[in-house]
Structure 1
Amino acid sequence: MLLTRKILFLIFLSLLVFDSFGQSELTEEIRVNLAGYPKEMPKTALVLSNSEGKKEVDLKTEDGKLVKRFSGIKMEESWEPFSTYYQIDFSEIQEVGNYYLAVPGTEIKSPEFQIGAFPAWQEDVVSFIRTQRCGFNPLTEEYCHQDDGLSFFGIWPDSTKVDARGGWHDAGDQLKYLITGSNTTARLLMTFQMQPESFIDEMNDMGIPMKNELPDILDEAKWGLDWILKLHPGPNELYHQVADDRDHRGFKLPHEDNADYGWGANSFRPVYFATGEPQGLSQYKSQATGISNLAGRSAATLALGYQVFISFPDYHEFAVQCLKAANELYLMGKKQEGYQQGNSYSAPYRYEENTWADDMEWAAAELFKISKEKEFLEDARRYASIIKEWSWMERDSASHYEMYPFVNMGHYALWQVGKEEDKKKMVEYFEHNLEQIQMRADQNPYGVGHLFIWCSNNLAAAVSTQAMLYEQMTGSKKYRSLMINHVNWLLGLNPWGTSMITGLPENADFPLDVHMPFWRILNVSVKGSLVDGPIWTSIHENMLGIELSEADEYAHLQPPHVKYMDDWMDYSTNEPTLDGSAELLMILTYLNHEK
């Protein structure tokens, strides 16, 4: 049924671009946020055209009643294959309902969208994350990777058995990373703190339908916390990665893993110890100067776990365990300041995080919230003064996962607990970042300023989140349009007219043919995952091993400099991501509660 829906939608699109002689000729298309618009937020659309002149567009109700005719504002910038872009601003319309936009006197119209409450999709995102569980997987209802794993580079002899079961697969493949798993867990916890009443209880701790008096988002957060605790089995121990790119042996279900790391298929996998030094079991070596990105972010996450779970009587002992580990990891981070990257084996691709002070700032601020010990606040200030406004937002390009996480949550945490001078500095840092994004957005017809590097959708979600946090910190709506423009981009207001979230909205175009084993093997499309997203053509053309499985359905819409493909063979633009999906949680939850 999903495939039929996708085909019908593409037939509809094709009718818009073929003239009476059957020849492909792009004339005009309308781009909107396919999810709709919160009633009191900015509401814009774009007309993509190959003709110039006055442009008018009608806003109509779902039954075709004219609400108002709007004049388009010609944009200074446009992207091929269209020569002219016109912005339609209908922010004044606040009546709740279903609408569409249409060009008068033509058959050109937009998909329907709503004005009103933003959909409650945060539960879909949590549900997607649940399907990525390692150990017991609720989607397959099978146990996997029960032999994780054998330690390397650690304080024990190589190949010593350790317990690294649990955690989440890295979406399209079955590696497990503390780099992303810690951030995913933290976002689950922070989102619950932001709107605790927003989340339902339908699943138990195993992810099986059965209420357990704990919101499902916290069941998922605890799954992540449990794994972090396993990777920290002693006061001076921290493991950071399970498996490596030897995993990449085609699509397979987790319990049928055919990867062989030297002990036979579907057997032991390496577990990498965080040493603070470069690592690699083959020709490709990671970079490292310390471990405080991993230790700091994990400490912050565990401190958040304490803050949340201490209020649940049945989880008091667990909360105390999280706090103890948080303090130990924080000390480890202080002793080995610097960063540890992800490891690869047979290809040069890895998570290239190279910042760490933001993670230690985050941990110190979260621990200060709990203990009120001045040393933590002083540490948070010191680490903030090291990282300052440094972010990918300050750059015109960046390496893969450089300066991760993509929002400096340390600054936000210090803003929460700091004095007035601290708060002022943290706001200035966030504002400096957002100004850099705004300058790029002003030169972009879609009003977005994130970078089109690998996992660009994570960056778009990060801009929206940081703008939302800035508004919370200041009360200013200065970057509200910037926030909404990046949400719009992810939800159809982009060159391809497609959502970047699998399965959502259900009645529109969304990623279907994704780089994901559940889709390729089981023909199951899992809702709620953010795919990697568009990348610069110069990057896309040099990615290894990309050859589309079928003709590009967006070929007639592709700008020459940016590419996106809904094709399972394109792992660079169409692979669902674990932490990218978690990046969505806060902004989706916030929008769902906007009146």
Structure 2
Amino acid sequence: MKNSLILTLLLFYSCASLLHAQSPIEIRVNLRGYPGDMPKEVLILSKGALDNPVLKLKNEKGVTLKEYQCIPSENPWPPFPYYYKADFSGFKERGKYYFELGENNIVSPVFTVGSYPNWQEDVIGFIRTQRCGFNPYTKAFCHQKDGLSFFGKRPDSTRIDATGGWHDAGDQLKYLITGSNTTARLLMAYQMKPHSFKDVVDARGLKGANNLPDVLDEAKWGLEWILKLHPSPDELYHQVADDRDHRGFKLPHEENADYGWGPNSFRPVYFATGKPQGLSKYKSKATGIANLAGRSSATLALGYQVFINFEEYKVFAQTCLKAAKELYQMGKSQEGYQQGNSFGAPYRYEENTWADDMEWAAACLYKITKKKEFLRDARGYAKIIGNWSWMERDTASHYEMYPFINMGHYALWQVGSSKDKKEMSAYYKHNLEQVKKRSRENPYGIGHLFIWCSNNLAAAVATQAMLYEEMTGSTEYRPLMQNHINWLLGLNPWSSSMITEIPENSDTPVDVHMPFWRIYKKSIKGSLVDGPLWSTIHDKMLGIALSKPDEYAHLQPDHIKYMDDWADYSTNEPTLDGSAELLLILTRLSND
């Protein structure tokens, strides 16, 4: 049984998270805690200067184990003009702890030192709830008439089977841009720790083991959809539906959007032409299709690598490999990028890079075939993209330079020569150094950008730092990695996690922009929300009017905003690919 003191503290912070009572001094920790071998920091936020801030580290019984002198932190964020920081990385004993500030009777939330739970399973569970075609959460079929093709080689309004895939971000659109990356992350997570994933659901996502880890059931769902969007060697479709979907909250099988054929009927399926598209006022930008074709090729190649090891899926694996080769050739013949389409709103996925995706595909295909032409291509594409990344920038457009990590460099590092390995790790290091420079400008030690979906970028920094450590053996970016994980798990201005119901018994997003929450009043565990936005962006977002007073008003910095309010789609909407961005990190840090 847990110690009564810990239960009292948990109850106190449960109430505090609900009331968000104002305090002149607050302590920020990672609400879950810290893996034993990772850096550990605690932060004090204060309205007034503290003469000699000392934090006492206490165990479950309230016994003081260590005392840490806190030092002032530069570049404070309002509304707290004073920040003090203590490093307790040397403390590695597993257990539950909390901090107490001197004589001020201020205590921190209880946190853990030790490995994280297997939260990657919860993320996979959230992704499963986003399935289209048959949704295992509602146990109902939806969008069975997806869809009618546009801009393609077939006449407009030709019936094409684009059923399946995942709903994208609290709505019911489907994008190859994000779906391909989500599928790839599921496959890579499995490759990282193949024996650590559970098998509790079947292929339909319903309860019942089927001798395939659930992570691969979900990956296969994504692979099958990519294959549908590539029905012949020279065809690739990239999006199902558009922002005409946005007609309030509705369950997937109760679709009310009308694309010209009545509610709950056909939806457009957009062909990847490599040219600007749009059926109404707003047009996308495009110079080619290599981002979509390359990333889909890489994902299918990863599918081959995984499923060829299962006797009953060898034919499926070969199908994936064939399609991967075809899509790679499509990408080579139309180098450039294709963006997402919008209809009546200015918002779209503005991806504008492509060489990283082709590098990723070429390296994956070389790993399988050992054909030197793929290795040569991978090296060429690697030089085109180089160290270009959002990490090099002070700002970026929505989903510019997506995916937010160059997985092509990692894939080439896996199969390349010693020279390749040195060059690829140098690219990663250059990016991380830019983030590290920005991280010195705030007390939280984070350096990502606060553009739309900023939490994706925080997760991307942590993942790139983790991969760099694998590539080089160097632990120099562990503090940067942990700081961005800390940010997502509550060591931030709001003392709130950015992942629904994770950590357990903590302040996490509740009132999210999600139909299951709005209709069922049920939270789905394991989804990453969009995250804080620069105020200059947030204040200009269309159609945001909070449904209730801001519970974090007294904690909001001047320059960034986060709202746990369903009416704020810009900071509190769970996303498919953002959640998938967590998979490699959580798999790495979890219990085996």
Q: TM-score, normalised to structure 2's length?
A: 0.97
Q: Which residue of 1 aligns with 2:5?
A: none
Q: Residues of 1 paired with 2:81 and 2:572: CA distance?
A: 27
Structure 1 stretch 60-69 or stretch 268-277: which is displaced more? 60-69
Q: 1:420 aligns with which of 414, 418, 421?
A: 418
Query: Can you list the C-alpha shifts for 1:482-516, whole angstroms capped at 9, x where unaligned?
Result: 00000000000000000000011121000000000
Q: Residues of 2 paired with 1:8 and 1:60: CA distance?
A: 16
Q: 1:569 aligns with which of 567, 570, 573?
A: 567
Unaligned runs of 5+ in 2: 1-9
User: Which residues of 2 match residues 158-169 of structure 1 at below 5 A?
Assistant: 158-169=156-167
Q: Residues of 2 paired with 1:435 and 1:593: CA distance?
A: 30
Structure 1 residues 552 and 15, CA, compared in 2 at 3 Å: closer, same or farther? closer
Q: 2:77 aligns with which of 79, 94, 105?
A: 79
Contact in 2 for aligned 1:333/1:360 (Cα 8 Å): yes
Contact in 1 for aligned 2:289/2:334 (Cα 8 Å): yes
Q: Which residue of 1 aligns with 2:542?
A: 544
Q: Which residue of 2 aligns with 1:22?
A: none
Contact in 2 for aligned 1:361/1:381 (Cα 8 Å): yes
Contact in 2 for aligned 1:496/1:554 (Cα 8 Å): yes
Q: Residues of 1 paired with 2:393 and 2:194: CA distance?
A: 35
Does the residue aligned with 1:556 lie in a helix, a strand or coil?
coil
Q: Residues of 2 paired with 1:201 and 1:468: CA distance?
A: 27
Shift of 1:171: 2.8
Does the residue aligned with 2:291 lie in a helix, a strand or coil?
helix
Q: Which residue of 2 aligns with 1:389?
A: 387
Shift of 1:51: 2.0
Q: 1:144 aligns with which of 142, 154, 158?
A: 142
Q: 2:360 aligns with which of 359, 362, 366?
A: 362
Query: Can you list the C-alpha shifts for 1:401-441, whole angstroms capped at 9, x where unaligned?
Result: 00000000000000001111111110110000000000000
User: Which residues of 2 match residues 432-443 of structure 1 at below 5 A?
Assistant: 432-443=430-441
Q: 1:582 aligns with which of 571, 580, 583?
A: 580
1:283 aligns with 2:285: no
Q: Which residue of 2 aligns with 1:457?
A: 455
Q: Residues of 1 paired with 2:467 and 2:321: CA distance?
A: 26
Structure 1 residues 332 and 442, CA, compared in 2 at 3 Å: closer, same or farther? same
Q: Residues of 1 paired with 2:37 and 2:17: CA distance?
A: 30
Q: 1:533 aligns with which of 531, 534, 556?
A: 531
Contact in 2 for aligned 1:35/1:119 (Cα 8 Å): no
Q: Which residue of 1 aligns with 2:214?
A: 216
Contact in 1 for aligned 2:13/2:109 (Cα 8 Å): no
Shift of 1:13: 5.0
Q: Which residue of 1 aligns with 2:30?
A: 33
Q: Which residue of 2 aligns with 1:45?
A: 42
Contact in 2 for aligned 1:30/1:47 (Cα 8 Å): yes
Q: Which residue of 2 aligns with 1:66?
A: 64
Contact in 1 for aligned 2:295/2:358 (Cα 8 Å): yes
1:12 aligns with 2:12: no
Q: TM-score, normalised to structure 1's length?
A: 0.96
RMSD in angstroms over aligned alpha carbons?
1.4
Q: 1:189 aligns with which of 176, 182, 187?
A: 187
Does the residue aligned with 1:429 lie in a helix, a strand or coil?
helix
Q: 2:236 aligns with which of 224, 238, 248?
A: 238
Shift of 1:9: 5.1
Does the residue aligned with 1:555 lie in a helix, a strand or coil?
coil
Does the residue aligned with 1:407 lie in a helix, a strand or coil?
coil
Contact in 1 for aligned 2:339/2:349 (Cα 8 Å): yes
Q: Which amino acid aligns with 2:34?
A: Y
Query: Can you list the C-alpha shifts for 1:97-132, whole angstroms capped at 9, x where unaligned?
Result: 100111122231111111112121000000000000
Shift of 1:62: 2.1
Q: Residues of 1 paired with 2:336 and 2:537: CA distance?
A: 28
Query: Can you list the C-alpha shifts for 1:351-376, whole angstroms capped at 9, x where unaligned?
Result: 00000000000000000000000000
Q: Residues of 1 paired with 2:441 and 2:448: CA distance?
A: 12
Unaligned runs of 5+ in 1: 1-5, 19-25
Q: Residues of 1 paired with 2:494 and 2:552: CA distance?
A: 6
Does the residue aligned with 1:293 lie in a helix, a strand or coil?
helix
Sequence identity (%) = 70
Structure 1 stretch 111-120 or stretch 519-528: which is displaced more? 111-120
Number of positions where the alignment pairs a residue of Structure 1 with one of Structure 2:
583
Contact in 1 for aligned 2:243/2:344 (Cα 8 Å): yes
Q: Residues of 2 paired with 1:235 and 1:360: CA distance?
A: 17
1:469 aligns with 2:467: yes
Shift of 1:15: 7.5
User: Which residues of 2 match residues 462-541 of structure 1 at below 5 A?
Assistant: 462-541=460-539
Q: 2:169 aligns with which of 168, 171, 180?
A: 171
Does the residue aligned with 1:200 lie in a helix, a strand or coil?
coil
Does the residue aligned with 2:107 lie in a helix, a strand or coil?
coil
Q: Which residue of 2 aligns with 1:266?
A: 264
Query: Can you list the C-alpha shifts for 1:206-248, whole angstroms capped at 9, x where unaligned?
Result: 0001000000000000000000000000000000000000000
Structure 1 residue ranges (4+ consecutive) displaced by more than 6 angstroms after TM superposition = none
Contact in 2 for aligned 1:184/1:582 (Cα 8 Å): yes
Q: Which residue of 1 aligns with 2:3?
A: none
Shift of 1:593: 4.8
Q: Residues of 2 paired with 1:242 and 1:8: CA distance?
A: 47
Shift of 1:7: 11
1:344 aligns with 2:348: no
Does the residue aligned with 2:544 lie in a helix, a strand or coil?
coil
Query: Can you list the C-alpha shifts for 1:438-465, whole angstroms capped at 9, x where unaligned?
Result: 0000111100000000000000000000
Q: Residues of 2 paired with 1:285 and 1:13: CA distance?
A: 43
Contact in 2 for aligned 1:16/1:108 (Cα 8 Å): no
Shift of 1:309: 0.1
Q: Which amino acid aligns with 1:302?
A: L
Contact in 2 for aligned 1:17/1:27 (Cα 8 Å): no
Does the residue aligned with 1:76 lie in a helix, a strand or coil?
coil
Shift of 1:10: 6.8
Structure 1 residues 189 and 89, CA, compared in 2 at 3 Å: closer, same or farther? same
Q: Which residue of 2 aligns with 1:21?
A: none
